[in-house]
Amino acid sequence: MNIRIHVITWLLILFPLLAVSGNLENATPASKPKVLLFSAVDSRYLADSLPFWGNDVGVNGFILSYIADWWSPKSEIFKNADVLKTINTQGRQYDIDSNFIKVALGYKELPLWTDDQAWAEVIDNVKNIAELIKKTGTKGIALDTEPYKVSLFDTKALRFGSANRDVLKAKVYERGRETMQALTEVFPDIEVIVLPEGAFYWFNPDAGPKPGAYELWIDYFNGMLSVKNNKGIVVAGERTYNIRDGNSLKRVSDLINASMMQHVENPVFWNEHCSVALGMWPLGKEYDNKAAKMSPLEFRRQFSQAAKLSPKYIWIYGHGSSWFQLKPSDVDKYTRGGRGIWGKDYQILPTDPDIDEYYSVLRDYKR
């Protein structure tokens, strides 16, 4: 009897998800997922080139890097307020209405999860970033949880010393909850994207490198999820970057969704308010080589299937400046020093010769 009840309960949870997924096959323009570009676009350049990005390329928004970081002082965070307002207000006439500020946890050594005093400062900065997002009309925050510089979620990492695993799990959960509370306290309707999908790597160790690096990721995510924010959470999937075949794309998408459904502590809230956004990487073999990684036809097929499988957003990883080229005369105006992917030498390099065919995939979808 208990087994039967358990099965029925899971069917009730899964049925709405399956129904939504099926409806995407016949999605109306109003319900189509928005297209986001994650690229090294200088905010000033973006503000001055909105017609190009909206009409010629066809994106609906950007995941903007280097606007604010969790360690940035408030004065540094708000120096971009005016240009963000321009992007968000003027961008709407070109259907660019879904911009996110990316904040990476791992670009600098994050305080230990157990350091309450240091984390109080981090949370204060999260509130400042949320205030910037709200005041400038930005859609939300894209929280990058990849452990770039130091271990974040690996209980065996040297930086955690002999800390008890259960204590670490509890503290990681607490920090996730504090992060979401800080964001929603300032901006109740803020939208939140989380990348990459750490639960997928940890619970499917054959799917990616170093699965142990994401052991506690689900605790951080569940801490965020416990707040039950108004807009839910979108998990930006990276494992689909280079998958061209539609059936293979669906299998990986299903596995990402299944990983989340099985391991979130509130599957009902996940199912009703959260979703996965599939990522693509069609252009840019290296930062200094903007050549295509797949043909325009392969990208069109990938894009079409990703749009059917992603309820709210789909996104493109631009790998540096592979989706645009600056004129040499504009380099000094639109580049920033000290960032490898913002390098002047990269931004003036020509794009792939067939770049307009890749743009046309987005333009055709947007019509």
Residue 284 included in any domain: yes
Neighbours of 291 (CB within 10 A): 14
Distance CA 198, CA 204 (A): 10
Owning domain of residue 235: 34-366
The mean per-residue pLDDT over the stretch 257-269 comes to 96
What is the count of structural domains for the chain? 1
Please report where in the chains the tokens 């416990």 appear, as a residue.
Answer: 226
Residue 16 included in any domain: no
Contact 144, 106 (CB under 8 A): yes
Distance CA 330, CA 291 (A): 22
Q: Tell me the average pLDDT of the chain.
A: 89
pTM value? 0.90
What pLDDT, on the 0 to 100 scale, is given for residue 339?
54
What pLDDT, on the 0 to 100 scale, is given for residue 332?
81
The CATH number that applies at residue 157 is 3.20.20.80
Q: What is the DSSP letter of 52?
A: I
Torsion of CA 318, 323, 329, 332, to 10 degrees: -10
The answer, yes or no, to whether residue 17 has pLDDT greater than 70, is no
Q: Which residues contact 330 (CB under 8 A, 6 or more apart)?
A: 45
Residue 23 included in any domain: no
Per-residue pLDDT band for 119 (boundaries 50, 70, 90) equals very high
Residue 204 included in any domain: yes
Distance CA 194, CA 304 (A): 23
Spatial CA neighbour of 63 closest among 31, 99, 20: 99
Residue 13 included in any domain: no
Give the CA distances from residue 335 to residues 66, 156, 184, 341, 342, in Å, rounded to whole numbers and listed in that order: 12, 39, 33, 10, 6
Give the CA distances from residue 6 to residues 2, 9, 15, in Å, rounded to whole numbers and listed in that order: 6, 5, 14
Amino acid (1-letter code) at residue 280:
M
Higher pLDDT, residue 299 or 206 = 299
The answer, yes or no, to whether residue 251 has pLDDT greater than 90, is yes
pLDDT tens-digit readout, 324-360: 999 988 888 887 654 555 677 888 999 999 999 999 9
Contact 266, 224 (CB under 8 A): no
Residue 102 included in any domain: yes
Structure tokens, 336? 């920033």
Residue 12 included in any domain: no
Q: What is the DSSP letter of 45?
A: H
Query: Which of 207-221, 242-256, 351-365 is least confident?
Result: 207-221
pLDDT tens-digit readout, 170-187: 999 999 999 999 999 999
pLDDT tens-digit readout, 33-73: 999 999 888 899 999 999 999 999 999 999 998 899 999 99
Region of 228 on the Ramachandran plot (φ > 0 left; ψ -120 to 50 alpha; else beta): left
Over the range 40-73, which residues count as b (16 or more CB within 10 Å of their CB) and which as e? bbbbbbbbbbbeebbeebbbbbbbbbbbbbbebe
The answer, yes or no, to whether residue 22 has pLDDT greater than 90, is no
pLDDT tens-digit readout, 229-241: 999 999 999 999 9
Neighbours of 82 (CB within 10 A): 12
Residue 15 included in any domain: no
Structure tokens, 319? 């790998």
Distance CA 194, CA 232 (A): 11
The answer, yes or no, to whether residue 30 has pLDDT greater than 70, is no
The mean per-residue pLDDT over the stretch 248-266 comes to 95
